[in-house]
């Protein structure tokens, strides 16, 4: 299904578990985990059966994908996700989030709808609000979720008692696109043609006055104006005849109304060209991996009865990402060493491999880590790399020692044999022994030329041979003395004999 993070079909991203609580689906999380490039996230919200899933399929450039509901029952449950290569931004993934319809009477769970709306706002870089007909008061009343955002989303971790956080929303919220479907009116104000954006801004104009009705009227409008800095509107005529609309997925471009097609293309191009890479509080862009973690952090906050907070989410996200960055970077370092190192080896070569592997590991760390401003995690990584390297150096010494010892046994075998045969316990034996030691040491050195432990192993060995060398020397000296004595005795006897004869 997933190929380098891209998917042939959408998967369920966030849904209700068996206890009725929101949860992030593992399959979707795994796909995002494998996506280490920046993401542009576009989510669609709106009442059910208003053509949201169809519009998302168009953004994916596909005839079908997100399931369409051609019956009363809405097809999409929870939030579904589709990751496709971004058509305009190389090295970016376009993540499409299709939400289940808000206000589904069958479901009748308003709070659930509110959270779905909040998650769509929190996770996306562009939020598409989709509705049928016109932007009138009823349409805006249906968008009451926007008025609840202040209760359900916090930006800062600590807020002063009388501080109004909604002023911060504008900095961190996605851009807002209103898609009006089956639009039948003419875009005109009086006689003058207006743009669809003018149409939206006109609908968002506030009324003067402070009566409860006026406050009520102004509330969703001022929320939209105050929370979303970038607002855009697209009006779509009916795409086809009523009968054909049951089978929209099967209709070819030619069978669609040309005006609809034109608008749909303009809409898609606007999204491709203007939707920004998803950032989090503090302005850092995020990857697919981070998006998956972010979703888990927000969903966890909702599950535990808290209000999702952007600043806290960034802290949690940083921790998750940085722990992972250390793990991945260290894994790469260890694998690199494992693949290139052949023990025993020249320590300088080992050091070179270590330096290259360390550099690669730091690169991985930097690409995965997140807000490691004080370099706490990078220092942890460097410490772990140092430990691994020290271990490897130790293993290198051990391996070299073993090889040297093997050569040593082989080379000095003749000497050992000579010792056990008592070949050196004869006059002049000590010199023979020393010559042999010298000759074999040279042979050993020639065979262990490149080994770091060559001299250490040899000198340890030679030390063990000092006693036997001394013994041989002593034996040699006493043998010599005896010999001389013997020779001396003979000479005295001969002299005596000579003298007695003469
Ligand atoms: N009237 C109308 N129906 C549409 C439009 N686009 C898609 N549909 C059809 O409306 C039904 C619901 O579409 P779907 O995309 O599943 O709506 P969702 O519930 O909002 O996701 C399907 O039968 C679609 O073929 C549109 O622009 N206008
Ligand atoms: Mg749908």
Based on the fold, state whether residues 76 and 183 are members of the same structural domain. yes
Inside any domain, residue 315: no
Check if the beta carbon of residue 308 is closer than 8 Å to that of residue 153: yes
Q: Based on the domain organization, do 304 and 344 belong to the same domain?
A: no
- Domain of 462 in residue numbering reads as 414-501
Q: Is 238 helix (H, G, I), strand (E, B) or coil?
A: coil
- Residue where a domain terminates, one of 404, 438, 469: 404
Q: How far is the CA of 146 from the centre of ligand 1 (A)?
A: 23
Question: Domain check: are 300 and 176 in the same one?
Answer: yes
281-308 residue pLDDT tens: 778 899 999 999 999 999 999 999 988 9
Ligand 1 atom at shortest distance from the alpha carbon of 46 = 20
pLDDT reported for residue 494: 39
- Helix 110-123 to helix 288-303 angle (10° resolution) is 150
Strands 192-193 and 188-189 turn out to be antiparallel
CATH at 153 = 3.40.50.300
Residue 480 shares a structural domain with residue 340: no
Is 409 among the domain residues?
no
Q: Give how many domains the chain has, as a whole number.
A: 3
**Boundary-marking domain end, from 308, 338, 365:** 308
Boundary (domain end) residue, out of 381, 404, 427:
404
Q: Radius of gyration over alpha carbons of the chain, in Å?
A: 41
Are residue 207 and residue 61 in the same domain, yes or no? yes
| 196 lies in the same domain as 304 | yes
Nearest ligand to residue 58 Cα: 1
Write down the pLDDT at residue 489.
53
| CATH code of the domain containing 333 | 1.20.58
Domain identity same for 419 and 400? no
How far, in Å, are 194, 206, 259 from residue 211 at the CA level? 31, 13, 42
The CA dihedral of 244, 75, 5, 377, to the nearest 10 degrees, is: 140
Is 297 found in the same domain as 238? yes
C-alpha span between 463 and 86 (Å, rounded): 71
**Cβ neighbours for 106, distance < 8 A, ≥ 6 positions apart:** 73, 74
Residue 40 sits in the same domain as residue 121 = yes
pLDDT digits (tens, 9 = 90+) for 224-273: 999 999 999 999 999 988 777 777 778 888 888 999 999 999 999 999 99
Residues in the chain with pLDDT values less than 50: 1-4, 72, 490, 493-498, 500-502
Contact 118, 107 (CB under 8 A): no
CB-CB neighbours of 142 under 10 Å: 15
**CB-CB neighbours of 169 under 10 Å:** 20
Structure tokens at 319: 């921790």
**Distance of CA 133 from the midpoint of ligand 2 (Å):** 18
**What are the residues facing 196 on neighbouring strands?**
none
Distance 81 CA to ligand 2 centre (A): 12
| pLDDT attached to residue 502 | 41
Q: Are residues 397 and 420 in the same domain?
A: no
Which ligand 1 atom is the nearest neighbour of the CA of 57?
Answer: 15
Residue 386, CA atoms < 13 Å, CB-side half-sphere: 6
For ligand 1, atom 16: residue with the closest CA: 68
Q: What is the DSSP letter of 211?
A: S
Q: Whose CA is nearest to atom 5 of ligand 1?
A: 51
Within this chain, do residues 195 and 276 fall inside the same structural domain, yes or no?
yes
261 CA to middle of ligand 1, Å? 15
């Amino acid at each position: 299904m997933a190929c380098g993070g891209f998917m042939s079909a959408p998967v369920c991203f966030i849904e209700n578990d068996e206890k009725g609580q929101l949860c992030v689906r593992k399959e979707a999380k795994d796909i995002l985990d494998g996506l280490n490039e920046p993401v542009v996230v576009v989510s669609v919200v709106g009442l059910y059966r208003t053509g949201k899933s169809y519009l998302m399929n168009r953004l994916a450039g596909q005839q079908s994908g997100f399931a369409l509901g051609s019956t009363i029952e809405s097809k999409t449950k929870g939030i579904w996700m589709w990751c496709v290569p971004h058509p305009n931004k190389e090295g970016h993934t376009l993540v499409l989030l299709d939400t289940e319809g808000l206000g589904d009477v069958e479901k009748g769970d308003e709070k659930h709808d509110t959270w779905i709306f909040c998650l769509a706002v929190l996770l996306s870089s562009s939020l598409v609000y989709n509705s049928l007909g016109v932007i009138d008061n009823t349409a805006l009343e249906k968008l009451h979720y926007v008025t609840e955002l202040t209760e359900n989303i916090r930006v800062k971790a600590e807020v002063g008692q009388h501080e109004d956080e909604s002023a911060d929303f504008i900095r961190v919220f996605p851009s807002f696109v209103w898609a009006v479907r089956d639009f039948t009116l003419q875009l005109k104000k009086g006689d003058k043609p207006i743009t669809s954006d003018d149409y939206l801004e006109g609908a968002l104009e506030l009324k003067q006055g402070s009566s409860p009705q006026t406050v009520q009227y102004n509330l969703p409008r001022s929320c939209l104006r105050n929370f979303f800095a970038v607002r855009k509107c697209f009006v779509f005529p009916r795409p086809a005849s009523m009968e054909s609309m049951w089978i929209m997925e099967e209709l070819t471009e030619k069978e669609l109304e040309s005006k609809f097609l034109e608008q749909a293309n303009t809409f898609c191009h606007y999204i491709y060209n203007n939707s920004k890479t998803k950032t989090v509080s503090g302005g850092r862009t995020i990857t697919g991996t981070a998006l998956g973690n972010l979703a888990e952090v927000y969903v966890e906050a909702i599950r535990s009865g808290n209000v999702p907070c952007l600043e806290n989410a960034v802290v949690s996200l940083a921790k998750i990402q940085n722990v992972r960055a250390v793990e991945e970077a260290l894994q790469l370092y260890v694998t690199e060493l494992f693949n290139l190192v052949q023990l025993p080896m020249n320590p300088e070569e080992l050091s070179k491999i270590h330096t290259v592997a360390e550099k690669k590991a730091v690169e991985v760390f930097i690409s995965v880590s997140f807000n490691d401003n004080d370099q706490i995690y990078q220092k942890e990584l460097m410490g772990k790399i140092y430990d691994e390297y020290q271990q490897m150096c130790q293993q290198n010494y051990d391996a070299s020692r073993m090889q040297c010892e093997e050569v040593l046994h082989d080379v000095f075998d003749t000497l050992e044999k000579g010792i056990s045969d008592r070949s050196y316990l004869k006059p002049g034996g000590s010199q023979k022994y020393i010559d042999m030691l010298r000759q074999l040491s040279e042979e050993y050195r020639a065979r262990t030329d490149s080994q770091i432990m060559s001299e250490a192993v040899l000198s340890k060995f030679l030390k063990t041979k000092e006693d036997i060398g001394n013994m041989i020397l002593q034996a040699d000296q006493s043998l010599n003395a005896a010999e001389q004595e013997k020779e001396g005795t003979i000479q005295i006897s001969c002299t005596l004999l000579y003298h007695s004869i003469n």
